[in-house]
A and B are shown apart, each in its own frame.
Chain A
Amino acid sequence: MELVWLCLLFPLAGFAINALFGARLPRRAHGLLATLAMLPGFVVAWIVLADLLSLPHDARHRDLILYNWVPVDGFSANFGAWLDPLSVLLLLIVTGVGFVIHLFAIGYMAEEVEGQRRFFAYLNLFVVAMLVLVLADNFMLLLVGWGGVGFASFALISHYFYREEAADAAVKAFVVNTLGDVGMMLGIFLMWVTYGAVDFETVFRNAGNAQTGTITAITLLLLVGALAKSGQVPLHTWLPDAMAGPTPVSALIHAATMVTAGVYLLARSWPLYELAPATLTTIAWIGAFTAIFGATIGLVQTNIKRVLAFSTMSQLGYMFLAAGVGAYSAAIFHLLTHAFFKALLFLAAGVVIHAIGGEEDMRKMGGLRDKVRIAWIAYGIGGLAIAGIPPFSGFFSKDEIIYSAFTSSRGNVVLGLIALITGGLTAFYVFRGFFLTFYGVPRYEVGAGHGDTAHGHGHGGDGIHQPGLEMRIPLIVLSVLAIVGGWVLIPNAVHLFEEYLEPVFAYPTEFNAPVHAAGGATYWTIAIIAALLGVAGIGAAYYLYVLKPSLAANLAQRYAGIHRTLFNRYYVDQLYDSLFVRPTQILGRALSNGFERVLDGAVNGLGYLVREASVTMREVQTGYVRNYALLILGGAVLLVAYVLFSGA
């Protein structure tokens, strides 16, 4: 199990080599190096999993301490790895999905002349930070990873920093995430004051020794961090903008791994959350609201990546909903399948964008089915998975959540219905994107070209950039996973996943999360309704965007008000802009003007004084020896006079 440190070491080495010596390496080497750095970690993750599974079922948690990180009197935090089924599962997702996306990025970024080294160095750094976050055995180290992924995300969103939109998006992401970090930090401070420790072991064991009010405060503060990181309402505004980064970044950071950190935090801290029912209720409602909020906005977006971004928001809302009703394993299950099918959707979108030379607007796509067949298939599989069509993975994970929302003692019918309806909307908007992109009349322009004939992937005669092998393999791998990924938990049949996670959510044993033995007639009824809604969504999308394209435009015109509100994302950005951003700018400008006058006045005044004084004083230096002699004489006379008349 100690091998787990290698998972951190290799990407760190990849980052260091690319960052320090990358300038001497050839252009293609950066991506190759970064990708190879990912492979050992993935292998080691499986070894760690095997080690973990060899332990008895109830003893599957280990706290590996590398060294005492903060050895202060009365406080201690270790640099340690907390290995249990939950963290090892996340370890597998991060290294595995990370590896295939690195591989994909080699092809996607191949044409970039500059910036490849920076890109891959940061991508490796992100993986290191994410693994620190996932493996940390205390909240303080977790916060280090938390901040680290925030920074890597910032650096990668602003990859095309010369585009104003990307630079702004990066700043926005960083500011909103920092807001969350502050909340989390306060939560950890309060935790330390309350329990006298920040490590998982002590905090969770003593969770019940505090007042409910205090626990609620701690959990709410931690929740602020989780909301910001996972793009939940009201701290969601940065996530859609973050799509300004390169597509592999969107797939890895803003779909599969980093944004799920909030869900991980909730699941990890469940012994605390279980003791704060008010917080759990808040989480459930925020999750449900975000789910339907993101889905409705996704209905009308025209940028292929933005649709997926709102979909990510919405799916994370599902996970929050699950955590809020106490179905932590359902949340983690959806996290797992979502990592597969959302990464797949993003990569497929990446292939399309790459194929037609960087265009992201779906109104300028269309008819691409036969041009980039692999993207068509991959997007279709990802779409079916997210729409919850059996037997694709999303069907099992999403139904688990809908079922929990209905039946959990903390859930209720409203939450369940929201989850159900969101499922239908999800199917509609994802397939709207699918049909707009791959069907209908071609509306794209090709031939802009990139003037680089030696970049290793074929061009058909039609100017479409075909993806190379390094881009095809990740699509195939993720497609397979998006299909079979859900088969680890089939109610009434396979219970692998639940059994695997059970030790996590049973420790410490005095608090038992409501583990759902899903199944039976209720489950299957809900599952069938959800699947039918998914099919209906797809059908509606097919009708509106393939059979009767004019009808969609008509509808948009007839309900122009709604359309505009949705298209502008309920004007939340504008609201925040006028509520927070503008006043801050005005205040800042006013203060800066005021302070400039005072501070600059003081500094400039001092300079003026010194200058004027020296202009006057220099007159004394006449250069004539006899003048100096006279002054010396005068001084001597004064001294003598002083000695004589002072009475000494």
Chain B
Amino acid sequence: MAPLSYYFVLSAVLFTIGTIGVLIRKNPLIMFMSIELMLNSANLSFASFARAKNLLSGQVIAFFVIAVAAAEVVVGLAIIVSIFRSRQSVDVDDVSMLKG
């Protein structure tokens, strides 16, 4: 098995890519994909630690994260669909009615 730090570097790179994706893209679908990237980078860290320390709880949490991510995507997609229906657009910058 490769050294543990490799996994973390990969995890950090994936997380950064995901974060930048969320921050700079306007298409919500791409943003969701970026969020998935961030979540899975965290999953990678959990799994790596679990493997290295011989603990099961890290693996379990990774499953939980996958389940929560699935649920979140369901809700998020539903919101995107209803926004699209009302405004014929899915650009997140168009949805700014709560501007103070």
Residues of A within 8 A of B (CB): 617-626, 629-630, 633
Contacts and interface: CB of A to CB of B under 8 A. Distances in A.
A618 B99 CA distance: 8
What's the interface size class on B, roughly?
10 to 19
A611 to B, nearest CB: 14
Which of B19, B93, B100 counts the most chain A CB atoms within 10 A?
A: B100
A630 B19 CA distance: 9
B2 interface: no
Contacts of A620: 100
A618 B100 contact: yes
A632 to B, nearest CB: 10
B67 interface: no
A597 B50 CA distance: 69
A350 B56 CA distance: 106
The 4 A-B residue pairs with the shortest CB-CB distance in the complex, in nearest-first order:
A621-B100, A623-B96, A623-B99, A618-B100
> Main SS of chain A's interface residues?
helix
A622 B23 contact: no
A633 B19 CA distance: 8
Contacts of A623: 95-100
A625 to B, nearest CB: 5
Given A624-B93, A625-B92, A619 B23 contact: no
Contact of B95 (A618, A625, A629, A633): A625
Contacts of A617: 100
B22 A626 contact: yes
A503 B63 CA distance: 104
Nearest to B95: A625
A468 B7 CA distance: 114
Interface string B65-100: 000000000000000000000000000110111111
Interface string B18-38: 010011101000000000000
A630 B100 contact: no
Contacts of A626: 22-24, 26, 92-93
Contact of B96 (A618, A622, A629, A630): A622
Given A619-B100, A620-B100, A630 B23 contact: yes
A617 B23 CA distance: 22
Interface of B: 19, 22-24, 26, 92-93, 95-100
A21 B97 CA distance: 57
Nearest to A618: B100
Contacts of B26: 626
A401 B93 CA distance: 101
5 contacts: A622-B100, A623-B97, A623-B100, A626-B93, A633-B19
A629 B98 contact: no
A259 to B, nearest CB: 69
Contacts of B95: 623, 625
Contacts of A622: 96, 99-100
Contacts of B92: 624-626
Contacts of A619: 100
B14 to A, nearest CB: 15
Given A624-B92, A624-B93, A626-B92, A633 B23 contact: yes
Contacts of B100: 617-623
Contacts of A618: 100
A567 B23 CA distance: 93
Nearest to B99: A623
A629 B99 contact: no
Nearest to B35: A629
A621 B96 CA distance: 10
A572 B88 CA distance: 88
A618 B100 CA distance: 5
A116 B100 CA distance: 59
Nearest to A615: B100
A280 B45 CA distance: 103
